[in-house]
């Protein structure tokens, strides 16, 4: 699918701010695909659709999680996590994208997972560092990604975990498994 067509499909599902974020993720993902040697068109498409389900009503996402037999555990954690796997499902069923690499990159863009593919890493970190983001510590992660993709992901996970603990939020197990995976990789 061409970029403009993909953007025109996703736009009505997003707010203006989220659409600008999506463009930022798209441009960042294409840059990273160039840098780390991945199919730029696939990275572009995955980025465009990564937040497709961000504004679906919670009850609709909940039904999809149950009906599609996604991990039930998701329902015990923050609904903010649901748009990633549900988005992957809806991009497949509503938009007709069947590429499993793209669908997995959407599924895991919020938590990551151990053994992430290169495309999953690109979308995960592009989502975190795109130019409109201003998390504390994002500048350090932007620097790291220039030389060390895995190091940048690990740093972003540390930042997210610290942010969540400060809020007394629960941490979804996949986030911790991903963190452990990247820590062990350094050993």
Angle at 164 between CA 32 and CA 120, to 5 degrees: 25
Using CB distances below 5 to 8 A depending on partner kind, what does residue 5 bind out of Fe ion, ligand DGI, none?
none
Residue 10 is classified by DSSP as H
Using CB distances below 5 to 8 A depending on partner kind, what does residue 80 bind out of ligand DGI, Fe ion, none?
ligand DGI
Let me know: does 74 contact 65? Beta carbons within 8 Å.
yes
User: What is the binding site for ligand DGI (CB under 6 A)?
Assistant: 21, 51, 54, 77-78, 80-81, 84, 109-111, 127, 160, 164, 169-172, 175
- Of 2 and 78, which CB lies nearer to ligand DGI in the complex structure? 78
- Of 60 and 80, which CB lies nearer to ligand DGI in the complex structure? 80
- Of 2 and 163, which CB lies nearer to ligand DGI in the complex structure? 163
Let me know: does 49 contact 70? Beta carbons within 8 Å.
no
Quote the least distance from Cβ 62 to ligand DGI, whole Å: 16
Q: Is 16 exposed, middle or buried (0-12, 13-18, 19+ CB in 10 A)?
A: exposed
């Amino acid at each position: 699918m061409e970029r403009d067509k993909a953007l025109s499909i996703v736009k009505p599902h997003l707010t203006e701010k989220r659409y600008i974020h999506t463009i930022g993720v798209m441009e960042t993902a294409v840059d990273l695909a160039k840098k780390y040697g991945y199919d730029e068109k696939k990275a572009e498409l995955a980025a465009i659709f990564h937040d497709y389900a961000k504004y679906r009503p919670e009850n609709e996402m909940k039904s999809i999680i149950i009906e599609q037999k996604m991990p039930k555990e998701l329902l015990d954690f923050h609904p903010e996590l649901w748009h990633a796997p549900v988005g992957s499902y809806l991009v497949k069923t509503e938009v007709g994208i069947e590429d499993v690499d793209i669908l997995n990159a959407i599924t895991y863009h919020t938590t990551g997972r151990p053994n992430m593919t290169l495309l999953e890493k690109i979308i995960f970190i592009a989502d975190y560092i795109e130019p409109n983001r201003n998390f504390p510590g994002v500048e350090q992660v932007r620097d790291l990604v220039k030389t060390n993709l895995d190091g940048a992901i690990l740093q972003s996970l540390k930042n997210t975990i610290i942010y969540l603990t400060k809020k007394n939020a629960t941490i979804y197990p996949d986030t911790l498994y991903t963190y452990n995976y990247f820590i062990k990789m350094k050993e």
